[in-house]
Amino acid sequence: MALLRGQRFLSGARRCHCRHSLAIPDLKWAINEVLVSDKRVIVRGEASGHPAGDFMGVPHGGRSFKVMSIDVHTVEGGKLVRSYHVEDWMSAIRQLSAE
């Protein structure tokens, strides 16, 4: 059952990535910092790009954006047992709709 949940997650993640790749053809991800403490790995990243058209309700204006992401991973027995991922897409909306 866990394998099926993992397969569904990967399938959903691929669909989400594909939608973002179509909407933001020059989407770039950068890892800015990695912290390791005991069994936790924290990754601070940044995504940037120029939407090819209207994006998340914001009319196309040719602007670019940068958003931060944070990942917190827990490793036990050499295996990844838990992951949390947060992306700040609201800041992209603010940047794209700025006057």
CATH number where 37 lies: 3.10.450.50
Q: Are 44 and 84 in contact (CB under 8 A)?
A: no
Rounded mean pLDDT of the chain?
Answer: 84
Residue type, 85: H
Task: Return d(Cα 27, Cα 64) in angstroms, integer.
Answer: 10
Residue type, 76: E
Domain containing 65 equals 2-96
Total domain count for the chain? 1
Task: Note the pLDDT of residue 13.
Answer: 47
Per-residue pLDDT tens over the stretch 2-48: 444 545 544 544 444 445 667 899 999 999 999 999 999 999 999 99
pTM above 0.85, yes or no: no
Alpha helices in 24-99 (DSSP H): 89-96
Least confident segment among 18-32, 46-60, 79-93: 18-32
Q: 95: pLDDT confidence band, cut at 50, 70 and 90? A: very high
